[in-house]
């Protein structure tokens, strides 16, 4: 498919999707464009390299990034995360496939439209903050506004507001070298927010930070997301970070997406042995919800036991049951009894012996990654 053809599927789902990606490939190496759809397309990485000298960094990937979600791209080193996310704004040119932002074909954009895309619509936050060393905090944040053509006073006022939003009030006049790593990353975040992008792209932004600061920055992202509902694409190789931040997680391996789902779907219903191994050590009771563990209420059970919401975690239900001394908790949704979790249901989740009733949302991409079904 050529770059100028309208991505039909992408346009169709544009109402709710910020990015729509279909059958995207990025192949590095000689005659790379012959690999997608060619006789060697399905070969494992080492054999593909042997046969063609090429690496398929992104391999036939399809997904939508929905408006307002934190879409996490997770995978081990070399699985293709950075290449995939750089393809979204064509910092890396895809080899084939279709790609749209808000329904507009990204592959058909000319240079000035692409510049506009990267500056205003999809702002990137990198691991190495890329701050200008001789500018103050507030001027670094205002920089993004300068290229937008706002007046100086407008820029400074907006930048100061954003500096406060990311928790750096009082540090406006410092230079980057006078800040800790976490503080510098906050400046990077404020600068990305300054252009009010439709989507923020994070490339492992916190992996150089020490664990405490990293946790603080994750909380910051959760807070910003909750307050603003901004769409985010977040690359990480850290599973706990993915589970904390992700509305949905795309788990990559060898350039492909092996599973795309909510944290609960990934942990509760791994698509294959690779994913199962990946999530093996996750404390399931902290990710799985009561809705997946409950059973129908028996006669007489509607009166007794603490009430929990369907989206409470199993860990929270365990605490409620254990505090109350009752044999089970009632799962209440808007005042209605929808089920019961007894001690056996709860223990099954902890032990990994439960068959979770995780239901998948309607799949984005018919030919895309496998979504979890009940």
Helix residue spans in the chain (DSSP H): 8-12, 45-52, 81-88, 111-116, 137-146, 152-165, 181-194, 211-228, 239-245, 263-268, 273-278, 284-287, 290-293, 314-324, 343-351
Nearest CB to ligand ATP, comparing residues 96 and 313: 96
Least distance (Å) between residue 80 CB and ligand ATP: 4
Asked if 30 is part of the footprint of ligand ATP (rule: CB under 6 A), the reply reads no
Burial 239-258 (b: 16+ CB within 10 A, else e): bebbbbbbbbbbbbbbbbbb
Q: Which stretch binds ligand ATP (CB under 6 A): 36-44, 77-85, 118-126, 241-249?
A: 77-85
Asked if 268 is part of the footprint of ligand ATP (rule: CB under 6 A), the reply reads no
Per-residue string for binding with ligand ATP, 177-196, x by CB under 6 A?
--------------------
Rounded CA gap, 244 and 21, in Å?
24
Helix residue spans in 27-76 (DSSP H): 45-52
Asked if 259 is part of the footprint of ligand ATP (rule: CB under 6 A), the reply reads no
Structure tokens that stand for 201 in this block: 């792209």
Angle in degrees, 0-180, between the axes of helices 343-351 and 314-324, rounded to the nearest 10: 140
Asked if 313 is part of the footprint of ligand ATP (rule: CB under 6 A), the reply reads no
Closest to 31 measured CA to CA, from 3, 10, 55, 4: 55
Q: Which residue has the tokens 């791994």?
A: 270
Asked if 126 is part of the footprint of ligand ATP (rule: CB under 6 A), the reply reads no
Please classify residue 353 by burial: count the beta carbons closer than 10 Å to its beta carbon, then call 0-12 exposed, 13-18 middle and 19+ buried: exposed
Asked if 77 is part of the footprint of ligand ATP (rule: CB under 6 A), the reply reads yes
Paired residues of 124 in beta bridges: 201
Nearest CB to ligand ATP, comparing residues 49 and 215: 49
| Residue among 49, 135, 237, 295 that touches ligand ATP (CB under 6 A) | 237
Least distance (Å) between residue 112 CB and ligand ATP: 25
Nearest CB to ligand ATP, comparing residues 127 and 286: 127
| Residue among 68, 78, 181, 310 that touches ligand ATP (CB under 6 A) | 78
Asked if 75 is part of the footprint of ligand ATP (rule: CB under 6 A), the reply reads yes
Q: How many CB atoms lie within 10 A of CB 297?
A: 17
| Residue among 22, 59, 66, 81 that touches ligand ATP (CB under 6 A) | 81
| Residue among 23, 52, 79, 98 that touches ligand ATP (CB under 6 A) | 79
Asked if 89 is part of the footprint of ligand ATP (rule: CB under 6 A), the reply reads no
Paired residues of 249 in beta bridges: 72, 261
- Please work out the total of residues on this chain that contact ligand ATP, with binding judged by CB under 6 A: 12
Rounded CA gap, 262 and 13, in Å?
19
Asked if 82 is part of the footprint of ligand ATP (rule: CB under 6 A), the reply reads yes
Site residues for ligand ATP, 45-74, by CB under 6 A, read 55, 57
Asked if 28 is part of the footprint of ligand ATP (rule: CB under 6 A), the reply reads yes
Asked if 36 is part of the footprint of ligand ATP (rule: CB under 6 A), the reply reads no
Structure tokens that stand for 247 in this block: 């509305």
Least distance (Å) between residue 90 CB and ligand ATP: 14
| Residue among 23, 62, 83, 96 that touches ligand ATP (CB under 6 A) | 83
CA dihedral sign of residues 112, 154, 144, 249: negative
Local structure of residue 204 (DSSP, 8 states): S
Contact positions vs ligand ATP (CB under 6 A):
28, 55, 57, 75, 77-83, 237
């Amino acid at each position: 498919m050529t770059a100028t053809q309208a991505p039909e599927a992408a346009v169709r789902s544009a109402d709710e999707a910020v990015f729509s990606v279909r059958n995207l490939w990025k192949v590095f190496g000689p005659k790379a464009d012959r690999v997608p759809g060619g006789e060697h397309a399905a070969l494992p990485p080492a054999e593909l390299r042997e046969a063609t000298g090429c690496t398929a960094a992104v391999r036939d990937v399809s997904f939508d990034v929905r408006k307002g979600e934190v879409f996490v791209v997770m995978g081990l080193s070399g699985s293709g995360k950075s290449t995939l996310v750089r393809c979204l704004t064509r910092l890396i040119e895809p080899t084939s496939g279709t790609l749209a932002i808000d329904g507009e074909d990204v592959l058909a954009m000319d240079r000035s439209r692409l510049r506009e895309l990267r500056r205003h619509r999809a702002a990137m936050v990198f691991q190495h903050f890329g701050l200008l060393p001789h500018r103050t905090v507030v001027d670094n944040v205002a920089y993004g506004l300068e290229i937008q053509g706002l007046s100086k006073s407008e820029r400074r006022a907006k930048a100061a507001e954003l500096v406060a939003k990311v928790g750096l009030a009082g540090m406006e006049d410092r230079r980057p070298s006078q800040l800790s790593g976490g503080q510098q990353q906050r400046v990077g975040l404020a600068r990305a927010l300054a252009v009010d992008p439709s989507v923020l792209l994070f490339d492992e932004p916190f992996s150089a930070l020490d664990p405490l600061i990293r946790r603080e920055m994750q909380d910051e992202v959760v807070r910003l997301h909750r307050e603003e509902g901004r769409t985010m694409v977040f690359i990480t190789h850290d599973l706990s970070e993915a589970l904390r931040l992700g509305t949905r997680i795309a788990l990559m391996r060898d350039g492909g997406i092996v599973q795309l789902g909510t944290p609960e779907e990934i942990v509760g219903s791994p698509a294959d042995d690779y994913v199962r191994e990946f999530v093996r050590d996750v404390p399931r009771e902290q990710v799985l919800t009561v809705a997946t563990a409950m059973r129908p209420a028996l006669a007489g059970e509607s009166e007794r036991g603490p009430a929990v919401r369907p989206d409470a975690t199993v860990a929270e239900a365990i605490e409620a049951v254990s505090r109350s001394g009752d044999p089970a908790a009632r799962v209440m949704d808007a005042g209605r009894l929808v089920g019961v979790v007894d001690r056996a249901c709860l223990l099954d989740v902890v032990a990994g012996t439960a068959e979770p009733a995780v239901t998948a949302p309607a799949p984005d991409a018919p030919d895309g990654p496998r979504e979890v079904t009940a």
